[in-house]
Homo-oligomer: A and B are copies of this chain.
């Protein structure tokens, strides 16, 4: 059978490490996918409608793809990226042709690995995408999307996803999740409590969001106590809907531990709409500590994703809105920033706090030393720009010697691109096998241990950290 994907892709080039990697991979290749953090739309699984066309499936939801095309002068309009006012006029087949013509731009990127995997494994396409075969590709994919096997629920089952967590705002009534439950379908889709929209005073619609939070919970958000109770209330609701985790996307990792009166007064300033940026930062810092405290109470695992400078490109933001490939990483400090929270809750075994970073310099300098000491801390996998073969290898090389394997939590695909999920997990498994294969080849780890570790990295650590 003709193949585009090599069986041994991503394994080390030297034969000793490679042969060990191959043997390890055979034991994890077919394990179920556990996806405890990501951005799939639960509505897909509630409605179970066909994806409309190849461009809508592959290109328009995937900022990795359209940011690269944009960087080379291709307009977002021509790619059919919806504008902030909802308009989008590009013909999907034309979008696909642009993509095919520029597919060479993705050489050496993880996007190429993910997309080729989906083409071959899901659609049986084994000739590299090019301008010549663009239309043929489009037709094959479009046709398959019309079949029952390519409906979201069928794909979910075909991918052998054991759990898929979404990311949801506290004021979301979780209707899609309710509909999934009500439908009787057995796919396990869990919400995640992500309260940025009611904590970050710069978030679009912040004040309205707070009002809704008050209404939906019946709490008086006019007081700090009422506000905290409202959050507690929604956490409980999310938990009742299956959530096992919260998630927090802050500009920095700053935490605070204010006394009650100061916190109350600060909340008053935030609520007034007249707060200055410095107050907003401290409020966010305080809220991370409050959230950790609530996690100690209710057992929800806490995730922190700091360090993204959002909407860097003003033109793109004004025309197309959020999440359009224009968020940029920023240097992020953890040791001093996390101290207030860690001194309050870091020694508490009831808390699991998973730290992520966009600043790889923190792996060996701050994150591994912190996670190698505090019982409450775990390290999330390489995130976003670093969710890539070289990025994952750097993470293992830079974090393992201080934090070990057992202060990490397996892989997150963290994607909006549903079709890429199996490919992303496959890349992660291969890189873990490559790393372990080298450790065995260099006699830094015994073979029997490597087989145990690779199981832990693939399924056991994620189940434990996220309480799945």
> Do A13 and B10 form a contact, CB below 8 Å, given A336-B330, A347-B313, A401-B391?
no
Contact A369 B329 (CB under 8 A): yes
Contact B72 A407 (CB under 8 A): yes
Least CB distance from A144 to B in Å reads 25
Nearest 10 Cβ contacts at the A-B interface? A6-B443, A9-B443, A13-B441, A388-B401, A14-B14, A108-B400, A328-B335, A13-B17, A13-B14, A314-B343
Which of B128, B370, B375, B442 lies in contact with A446, CB distance below 8 A?
B128
Which of B14, B15, B330, B445 lies in contact with A108, CB distance below 8 A?
B445
Contact A346 B444 (CB under 8 A): no
Number of copies: 3
Can you list 16 A-B contacts (CB < 8 A)? A10-B442, A12-B14, A14-B14, A73-B375, A105-B406, A108-B439, A109-B402, A110-B401, A312-B342, A313-B347, A313-B374, A330-B336, A331-B365, A364-B386, A389-B401, A389-B442
Which of B6, B375, B398 lies in contact with A70, CB distance below 8 A?
B375
Instruction: Collect the chain B residues with CB atoms within 8 Å of residue A16's CB.
Output: 13-14
Contact B389 A364 (CB under 8 A): no
Interface residues on A, range: 35 or more
Contact A401 B390 (CB under 8 A): yes
Check if A290 is an interface residue, CB within 8 A of chain B: no
Give A402 to B398 CA distance when docked, in angstroms: 20
> Do A366 and B328 form a contact, CB below 8 Å, given A10-B444, A397-B390?
yes
- Which segment of A261-269, A354-362, A412-420 sits at the interface? A354-362
Least CB distance from A371 to B in Å reads 7
8 A Cβ contacts from A1-24 to B: 5-6, 8-17
Check if A203 is an interface residue, CB within 8 A of chain B: no
Contact A391 B371 (CB under 8 A): no
Contact A108 B391 (CB under 8 A): no
Contact A104 B365 (CB under 8 A): no
Check if A281 is an interface residue, CB within 8 A of chain B: no
Instruction: Collect the chain B residues with CB atoms within 8 Å of residue A314's CB.
Output: 343
Contact A385 B404 (CB under 8 A): no
Check if A377 is an interface residue, CB within 8 A of chain B: yes
Instruction: Collect the chain B residues with CB atoms within 8 Å of residue A333's CB.
Output: 331
Least CB distance from A467 to B in Å reads 15
Give A386 to B12 CA distance when docked, in angstroms: 24
> Do A364 and B360 form a contact, CB below 8 Å, given A330-B336, A444-B113?
yes
Check if A189 is an interface residue, CB within 8 A of chain B: no
Instruction: Collect the chain B residues with CB atoms within 8 Å of residue A9's CB.
Output: 442-444
Give A364 to B362 CA distance when docked, in angstroms: 13
Give A28 to B104 CA distance when docked, in angstroms: 20
Check if A449 is an interface residue, CB within 8 A of chain B: yes
Contact A108 B438 (CB under 8 A): no
